[in-house]
Chains A and B, each alone.
Chain A
Amino acid sequence: MKVSLFTTCLGDLFYVDVLKDVTEVLERLGCEVDVPEGQVCCGQPAYNSGYAKDTKGPAKNMIRAFEHSDYIVCPSGSCATMFHEYPNFFADEPEWQEKAKNIADKTYEFTQFIVRVLGVVDVGAEYHARATLHTSCHMTRLLGEREAHYTLLKHVKGLDLVPLPNNYDCCGFGGTFSVKMFPISEQMVDEKIRHIEETDAEVVVGADASCLMNIGGRMKRLGRPIKVLHIAQILNSHQTEGAERHADESRKSTIL
């Protein structure tokens, strides 16, 4: 199965190690991965800030980059959702709208693709820790994927997954909200961290690097010892008890 990786700008900038894990997991599951050269940022920061007109250029670029892909897989529910929004941008350009629909129809978030398309629930990972899952808002509410990330984590050997209180509350990221409204955003992430701490988890896992950058960035500032991991980092782990999680030791073992 041919899969084109939509790397996301946060992935390209900050989380190259996560992208490596994503690639390796997909390959292990039998996918032939490619990374379309022409891809840029999906345009969400501008779109959500009201600059819809400035979003069309990046959107067209992305459509061009992915139009010949069989499947588009993205390690972020939020960015994948943006591809699903694309058809709405081109109400006055029917040709582009058609292309946008074609892109939207074959776009999946990483865990969603594994469970819904590949039909795999156990990727053969092993990770020994008490962990809790942050379910991102765009992934659950906008993309409508509420199960896949849980399903995959439940099958990870050694992982003790504990529920996160108020998991439905936003972590406070919200794209440009986190800088435009930072005093509110900080209160929100602090409450999220209090709930994470209530679980006594050693690791907080998420499927969206943006939320994790927010939670991890705040925890680092506060000096909290809890690890923050993208779900791909767990799914690409083969750690037997007591050993290092990964063959490639230079790879980052946490988001921050």
Chain B
Amino acid sequence: MPMKVGNRPFFEGVDKAIHDSFMVNAVSSAQDGLRGRKLSATIGDKALGDWEEWRSAGEEIRAHTLNNLDYYLKQLSDNFAARGGHVFFAETAEEARDYVKKVCKEKNAKHVVKAKSMVTEEISLNEALEEEGCEVLETDLAEFILQVDHDQPSHIVVPSVHKNRQQIRDAFKKLGYEGSDDPKELAGFARKTLRSKFLNADVGITGCNFAVADTGSICLVTNEGNANMVTSFPETQITVMGMERLVPTWKELDVVVSLLCRSSVGQRLTTYVTDITPKADQDAVDSPKDYHLVIVDAGRSNALGTDFQSALHCIRCAACINVCPVYRHIGGHAYGSIYPGPIGAVLSPILGGYEEYGKLPYASSLCAACSEACPVKIPLHKLLIRHREKYVEGGGHPPVMERAAMKGFSIGASSPMIFRAGTKMAPIILKPLVHDGSIPKGPGPMKPWTHGRDLPAPSKENFRDWFKKHKQQSATIQAKGTGESL
């Protein structure tokens, strides 16, 4: 199934993850590093001006584009086609895969090279092409490592964040590598392996950081230079883009690229920011001869015109993932979706439904670190609550006991009398469970709490009763003219 990572139910994935101390350490130290770099390139960069103004500009650009998505998609498509490119709108992942397969078949392609792309992971493109007999090679270093090791991404910007260099060396051994686990030597081996593949490739496939509607251009933001190789050698190019990943003009591109580079890896600009446009005439030498643009919906329309539309503002910087305390402890694979972390917990149910991804919106303490980090101000924690609402209102299967408890809560908290009675009864009812001032083991809804924590014993004294006495005492003291209370 597209988008899915592994086959474990959510809690099994969590259980495996929290016992993987290597992964947890790798992820938390990566988070601390990325968070620090982001802060110094955003709030900490005085040359940039007010970061909050940049965020507002980003939000405005993305909201405007999504509010006029039909207009800009048409403009993009017209401009791309006018320059000789081919545009295909894929409503489903399957349609997107079929189109790419068809192009590869027509070109009799045997060797396909790819630059890093989350949307192609989302639609499981590699598997589809391999079934057709193509050799598909990931050329982004981290994606290459994962491909060699038959592993999947655990992060949308640094996909092999869960692997250390010993593990990478062991993976490379499968390709005959005999060197050390020195990163330079490992990278050198990957570079050498990839170089010959670039030269022999029939088709190059990329994702798309942003498309520019105004000129029909595709912008790729990279550090390794592999995307430039992918787009330079093969005569046939295919770019697969999520249908929301566009901006009106180069002016807006400037803003969102800055937001992306600074928020994702803390760079002012990445090493390469490459823009490709189909060739306008036969003499053009620096454009692909045959250029296809596949614009993928695959569930994105579900969010249009709903509370969730702002989830489509996402520019895939992973700033929310890099500050998420839940991701910090369970890593990416436990989410079971190629989109992990807060944005993954919002996006996955939109694209893949509650049946498959309904638990993800609950995998958040609603601390709002994600919303604070987002460079285009997506209110991620609020969207997680919206998902929970949809889930309990029929989208999913909330536990029966939970529904009953919430109903009971609503009734109890709607009546001051019942509520007061409840707070007075609690110390009496819970008294048998109290040991040494707290409750170490509780039944029912208290059980998961007391699995690892004590629950305080309810206060024996009632505050409202104390307050009444306290008021009377103060009044008496004042009446006696002895001055201030306490």
Contacts and interface: CB of A to CB of B under 8 A. Distances in A.
Interface of A: 7, 9, 11-17, 19-20, 23-24, 27-28, 35, 37-41, 43, 45-55, 57-58, 60-61, 65, 137-138, 141-142, 166, 168-170, 172-175, 177-189, 191, 213-214, 216-218, 220-221, 255-256
Given A41-B409, A137-B369, A183 B463 contact: no
Interface of B: 11, 14-15, 18, 24, 28, 32, 323, 325-326, 328-330, 362-369, 371-372, 385, 387-393, 398, 402, 406-407, 409-416, 419, 423, 426, 437-438, 440, 445, 448-449, 451-459, 461-464, 466-467, 470, 474, 484-486
* Chain A CB within 10 Å, residue with most, of B323, B372, B389, B413: B413
A170 B459 contact: no
A141 B367 CA distance: 8
Contacts of B372: 141
A179 B448 contact: yes
A50 B392 contact: yes
A182 B451 CA distance: 8
A28 B402 contact: no
A220 B454 contact: yes
Contact of B325 (A50, A169, A182): A169
Given A41-B413, A50-B391, A183-B15, A14 B456 contact: yes
A6 to B, nearest CB: 12
B334 to A, nearest CB: 9
A194 to B, nearest CB: 11
Contacts of B454: 217, 220-221, 256
Contacts of B414: 40, 57-58, 60-61
Contacts of A168: 323, 369
B388 A182 contact: no
A129 B452 CA distance: 28
B325 A35 contact: no
A173 B367 CA distance: 9
Q: B32, B328, B406, B451 — which one has the most chain A CB atoms within 10 A of its CB? A: B406
27 contacts: A12-B463, A12-B464, A13-B458, A13-B459, A14-B457, A15-B459, A16-B463, A40-B416, A50-B389, A50-B391, A54-B409, A57-B410, A141-B367, A141-B368, A170-B369, A174-B366, A174-B367, A175-B365, A181-B326, A182-B448, A183-B14, A184-B329, A184-B330, A191-B28, A191-B329, A220-B454, A221-B453
Contacts of A47: 385
Contact of A218 (B28, B409, B453): B453
A169 B409 CA distance: 29
Contacts of A19: 463
